[in-house]
Amino acid sequence: MTETALRETLCHLAGSLFDRGLTHGSTGNISARTDDGGLLVSPTGTSFGRLDPARLSRFDAQGRHIGGDAPTKEMPLHTAFYDTRGTAGAVVHLHPCHSVTLSMMADADADNFLPPLTPYGIMQLGRVKLLPFFMPGDPAMGDAIRGLAGKRAAVMLANHGPVVAGKTLETACNAIEELEATAKLALMTRGLPVRGLTDAQVQSVVRRFDVEWDA
């Protein structure tokens, strides 16, 4: 994909996420790897609904800011995923209501944040790690992701929002949407006699779709 097309795709997908209420105001940030090893990143203080392809922050392969507006303050989240997951071609961070709400529950499972309600969350995300609360922009968030040594494609920042890495912009956006949809199902069924997937069914999905699961 040419850089021009990548810029347009990034802004189009960000706008779609915004239009459907998956992030709001100037929350959230998104980045994508360019063919030369650099990055395109949403600028600080911008809305997903109004990103300008020409003003995206541009980094070279050495991590130097070489063009566009100043980047999001959450760059540590993005660089941590790119540095630890060689397959990462895009990273998306949103503030969607249902997954944030689920992260506030006292009984949330830190090692496997999403309950196994459907196969799709497993297929697209693997196990999601719930990380503790950090101040927005705190470099310690990146340190926490690096501490996972590339073994998770998605994390949930408690009281804040999910961060997902994918091979492409499309896969990263699809996966973070699935995370929010699964969190919504979990809240809708909370307190009900739910029949989720059994351990055997989970393992069948993991094997069938070659999911990173045991890390």
Phi first, then psi: give them for residue 198, nearest 5 degrees. -75, 165
120 is an active site residue: yes
Give pairs for 54-61: CB < 8 Å, separation 24+.
54/7, 56/7, 56/10, 56/11, 58/34, 60/36, 61/36, 61/37
> How far is residue 197's CA from residue 114's CA, in Å, rounded to a whole number?
12
Helical ranges in the chain per DSSP H? 3-19, 75-84, 97-103, 119-125, 140-146, 169-188, 199-208
The number of CA neighbours under 13 Å toward the Cβ of 127 is 17
Which two three-digit tokens encode residue 39?
Answer: 């990055």
State how far Cα 59 lies from the chain centre.
20
Coil, strand or helix at 169: helix
The secondary structure element, H or E, covering residue 107 is none
Catalytic option among 3, 82, 120, 177: 120
Distance CA 201, CA 192 (A): 21
Q: What is the distance between the alpha carbons of residues 148 and 127, in angstroms, rounded to a whole number?
A: 12
Catalytic residue among 3, 8, 74, 82: 74
Catalytic residues: 74, 120
